[in-house]
Amino acid sequence: MTHVHARAAYSEVGAALFQLLRVIEGSSWVLLSQTPVSHARLALLRSLALDGPSSSSEIARARGVARQGVHRVARLLEAEGLVRTRRDPRHGRRRVLELTERGAAEYRELTAREARELNALARGFRAEELRETSRLLHLLAERTRDTRAPASATQGADRSRERTP
């Protein structure tokens, strides 16, 4: 495939992804509109359910969002009894967030509803087709990240190789 054709094909993939994201996001909004939980709140519940007790800073870093935003959502969830804060036993001054039993139950209910919605979207596809699509999307994301590295970082890496005997 020539460079021009590859670029056109990559653009087609991008357009298809944006279209798919709109459909999935629309489905998520339908799901979330039926509950009092926003995307940010579901994301925080998901982080705690999957990663276990974590500080606001750790969650923000992992999700690529501002710590203040995580902290704000955590306070709302804490007021509703879905999360609690406690001292980190490894670092006495640091506080970590964790799900309460009620928060874990809420997360399980939300993810069960989400799974039903996503299964409806996936109807008609074989699991192997979806896994292969996922593999290709992860590969595209990885290669896109690699090619978007700052020029200064790439140049610095090249220079350091040149100095190595």
pLDDT digits (tens, 9 = 90+) for 26-50: 666 566 566 666 778 889 999 999 9
Question: Is the separation of the CB atoms in 31 and 113 below 8 Å?
Answer: yes
Radius of gyration of the chain (CA): 21
Q: If you classify domain 37-131 with CATH, what class do you get?
A: mainly alpha
Q: What is the pLDDT along the chain (165 residues), one digit of tens a residue?
A: 666 677 788 888 888 888 877 777 666 656 656 666 677 888 999 999 999 999 999 999 998 899 999 999 999 999 999 999 999 888 778 899 999 999 999 999 988 888 887 788 888 999 999 999 889 888 988 888 777 655 544 444 444 444 333
Which token pair is 86? 């406690």
Say what the pTM is. 0.62
